[in-house]
Amino acid sequence: MAPETLYYLLSALLILVGIAGTVLPALPGLPLVFAGMLLAAWAGGFQEVGVPMLVLLGLLTALSLVVDFVATMMGAKRVGASRLALVGSVIGTLVGLFFGPIGLFAGPFLGALAGELIHGRKVHHAARVGLGTWLGILVGTVLKLGLAFAMLGLFALAWFV
């Protein structure tokens, strides 16, 4: 097997794992997608995908990091979350990884809820904060998936045109 073939297979694997990482919070989704695209472009000698396209893809990757942070913060702040709720959401997300898909959905909510309760808020307010934080994460995930597929489209366009 030619070395280029191995590089292309590795780049495809990075892209697939990166797309999964846009949903799974433990993986750096779009940075992995970008790394796979960069590897494929390098394996092809930058003939199909050049530096200007890679710069654009890198900027979209950076935008995804901003989107992730801003969407979560806006969801939390919109419902008056405390710092403890934000910390709880992060901890809940990490703990949720060990409980499969249910943990991925329930972890951020339960973490934010616990953070608000520790902060001394009433259960009703804490539940609102948990839901707002969770919705912010969900919106961020949807936006990152959109960016991932836009990056794939741009990469394919540059490769085949």
pLDDT at 8: 96
Tens of pLDDT, residue by residue over 31-41, are 999 999 999 99
User: In Å, how far are 78, 109, 114, 126 from 120, measured between CA atoms?
Assistant: 19, 17, 10, 9
User: In Å, how far are 55, 79, 116, 139, 145 from 128, measured between CA atoms?
Assistant: 40, 7, 10, 16, 26
- Flag whether pLDDT at 135 surpasses 80: yes
Tens of pLDDT, residue by residue over 12-66, are 999 999 999 988 766 789 999 999 999 999 999 999 999 999 999 999 999 988 8
CB within 8 Å of 94: residues ≥ 6 apart: 25, 26, 107
Tokens (6 digits) for 20: 């999964």
Tokens (6 digits) for 59: 């900027």
pTM of the shown model: 0.80
CA distance 7 to 153: 20
**Percentage of the chain modeled with pLDDT above 90:** 50
Higher pLDDT, 73 or 152: 152
Q: What is the mean pLDDT of residues 83-90?
A: 87
pLDDT at 143: 92
